[in-house]
Amino acid sequence: MSARYLLYLVFLISIADSQPFIIDTTSFVAYEVEAKILGAFTTRIIGVNRNIQGEISAQPEVSAELLIPVESFKSGITLRDENVANILQYREFPEISFRLVSINDKDIVKLQNEKSGKFPVIGELQVAGALKQFDFVIHFSKESPSKVLFKTQTFLVLSNLQIPKNVGLWHDRMHLD
């Protein structure tokens, strides 16, 4: 069985006057696996994690830190969920983390003044203890005056993060959306 992971990061932020902003319970991280089984057919599997925790703030400067519990991915197939958790070494590293490293001032203005758009950021992603900076493109849309939807993606090559092939169903590529 060979597969390529595609992970989606979608979060809705309540932007009331209070800080930090609140991550809405409809936010999620999901992976999609297109798996070729026995070289004969391809199947698509999706695992969803609605357990995003963290803090996003604009005061005194823009900051974001998100934590995603590895064991909270649910695909409907318990063995697959266990394999994903084992691949990501959940016992030693129970969370995937994201931290905003930099954002341009002009993009902060864009976020404040436009209904939707996109802007680049540099973020730090930690997966299975491996820490790496990535360039992300954040897509945003204001769902209401008090809520903003954010989406982003990036490819992860697990061997580049030096995550060992310690599990029978180890796959080298993940895509974070």
Q: How many residues does the chain have?
A: 177
* Comparison of pLDDT for 167 and 110, the residue scoring more: 110
Round the average pLDDT of the chain to a whole number and report it: 78
pLDDT of residue 95: 94
Going along the chain from its start, the domains and CATH numbers come out as 2-176 (2.40.128.110)
Burial of 69 (0-12, 13-18, 19+ CB in 10 A): middle
| pLDDT per position as a tens digit, 12-45 | 776 655 566 778 777 888 777 666 677 777 777 7
Structure tokens at 68: 């995603």
C-beta separation of 134 from 154 below 8 A: yes
Distance of alpha carbon 68 from alpha carbon 116, whole angstroms: 25
